[in-house]
Structure 1
């Protein structure tokens, strides 16, 4: 009797296993038609340090990359406004784009608890999006889903809202009404204006003179399509300020243009952090560093871990001689963006101005280790003037110049 019972139990177990395997085989065969919905709750403590990697463009055309990049950046922007969530900036994750790297390597480099990755495929007027949030410690999925959306603002913004909400929920954050309103904001009602704006952001992120010109053209077109598109005005103003800073630093026309566009953005949305950051950039270029600091603070009040505003505020404090405040601000930036080499460089600059030679050289060394090679900036930066005659600094500059030449030769 016992033997029959055992055989019966074994038969049932084998049947269940075969049934389960058949189920997953069918799911795999039909994965294109059926949405993925996988959700796990590990009962673990809050996971509030998140990195959102740039979504892969699976459309087969490089021209569609602006869509995958734009979707990623907008999700990051929405998440950055949620109190209690520490999300890495687009600049932090940019270096991983297109590189074969594991989730554990990303987690270690950015000191995050979870990583979101995914892909975007454009098929006619439809977007097919896959997204998965992965626990860095275990390598397991926290959740994974597939979405199919029309290329229309209500669908795209709805998708961004849903993805951002799921990440916040995975971090066990209770979203208050203000946070929910932040996630559901729609910057424009025009699908065409939004697509053109995403192209502008794509070119802006290239950080080249040519890319900046293309960004200006795209932002202008987005504004023509929707004159009430506040963040497009902020993007245009920032691009004008970049042109002044990098190309024509003696022509005030570009700064005046930048200021005009940014103020239009703030008339439409007085709390827009991107506009306050851009206005801070303008004031900094004009030498009005107290005003610049005020604008950076306004940006950070809405978007606490906004790296560009954190660095800008640190620079403003340093110029104003508020060295302790500058160090505090830059240390905050380092805590959230530990691999961004320019922050290490700025730490060295503050210690240089404080005439703390050993600390300054140590921080410049850390910047070098993380890939900082901007010898043109170091040659003209007044923050480094207290060190110009120091033998240790001269040796360090030789090292920077040597590596810079190697990089140029390799590029050729």
Structure 2
């Protein structure tokens, strides 16, 4: 078996030392193979050695500047350290180098959201949902970003699809309630969303607050 594949298998089994040994052997046998450096970095990251992991991702880029997966891994490491501007650069590089995967677009979109750049995040989150239509979390984040960008009709459309795919997604239910109340001025539908969220998660504080606001509004009418 290929040493990279064997190392991944060992890592999945929780055999950290053996996985590191396998990736080390692959690096020694093929020092210009970026995959082994990336995998070695993944092992280090899995045990909290993020700074060392970053060095291996950087080494992978050094041996192969076209390795999109290395930029993605480096971006993820920076994201986890809250170095968001640097993470954006690496995710952009990953995509430019041809990493046409949903996760790359999703992580770039999420990083831009963390930087409050909702409009810039939209095309990346949209692309993530196009590449993986079953990724409900990407669709939810796309819906939230649309709402933040004041594209409310499209936000509602995306959030409605989220609860079709996952009827127990309480945050989507809550945010739909907010959109129905604020944008559509439909108190009945808003209250229904808040109630559904609370049925699933009784301690959902925001949904509870939304419900109280809708009930108070009804009383005042």
Whether the TM-score (by the shorter chain) exceeds 0.5 is yes
Q: Which has the higher contact order (CA 8 A, sep 6+)?
A: 1
Match of 1:238 in 2: 42
Q: Is the 8 Å Cα contact of residues 341 and 372 (structure 1) preserved in structure 2?
A: no
Pick from 65, 90, 94 the counterpart of residue 295 of structure 1. 90
Match of 2:25 in 1: 225
Pick from 55, 58, 61 the counterpart of residue 266 of structure 1. 61
Whichever of the two has the greater Rg, that structure is 1
Pick from 309, 318, 322 the counterpart of residue 117 of structure 2. 322
Q: Is the 8 Å Cα contact of residues 103 and 128 (structure 2) preserved in structure 1?
A: no
**In the TM superposition, what is the alpha-carbon distance from 1:399 to its structure 2 partner?**
6.1
SS state at 1:270 partner: coil
Match of 1:199 in 2: 6
TM-score normalised by length of structure 1: 0.38
Match of 2:14 in 1: 213
Instruction: Name the CA distance, whole Å, in 1 between partners of 2:133 and 2:36.
Output: 29
Instruction: Name the CA distance, whole Å, in 2 between partners of 1:203 and 1:327.
Output: 38
**In the TM superposition, what is the alpha-carbon distance from 1:261 to its structure 2 partner?**
2.1
Asked if 1:282 corresponds to 2:77, the answer is yes
Match of 1:255 in 2: 50
Asked if 1:367 corresponds to 2:162, the answer is yes
Q: Is the 8 Å Cα contact of residues 349 and 360 (structure 1) preserved in structure 2?
A: yes
- CA 1:274–1:320 in structure 2 vs 1: closer, same or farther (change >3 Å)? same
Relative to total residues, which structure has the larger helix share, 1 or 2?
Answer: 2
Deviations 1:223-246 (A, max 9, x none): 2212224212212323444555xx
Instruction: Name the CA distance, whole Å, in 2 between partners of 1:392 and 1:239.
Output: 46
**In the TM superposition, what is the alpha-carbon distance from 1:288 to its structure 2 partner?**
1.7
Match of 1:334 in 2: 129
**In the TM superposition, what is the alpha-carbon distance from 1:331 to its structure 2 partner?**
1.4
Which residues in structure 2 correspond to 1:13-412 (within 5 Å)? 195-202=2-9, 211=12, 213-214=14-15, 216-217=16-17, 219-227=19-27, 228=31, 229-241=33-45, 244=48, 254-354=49-149, 360=155, 362-371=157-166, 394-395=194-195, 397-398=197-198, 401=201
Aligned residues: 182
CA RMSD in angstroms comes to: 3.4
Q: Which runs of 5+ in 2 are unaligned?
A: 179-189, 203-221
Relative to total residues, which structure has the larger strand share, 1 or 2?
Answer: 1
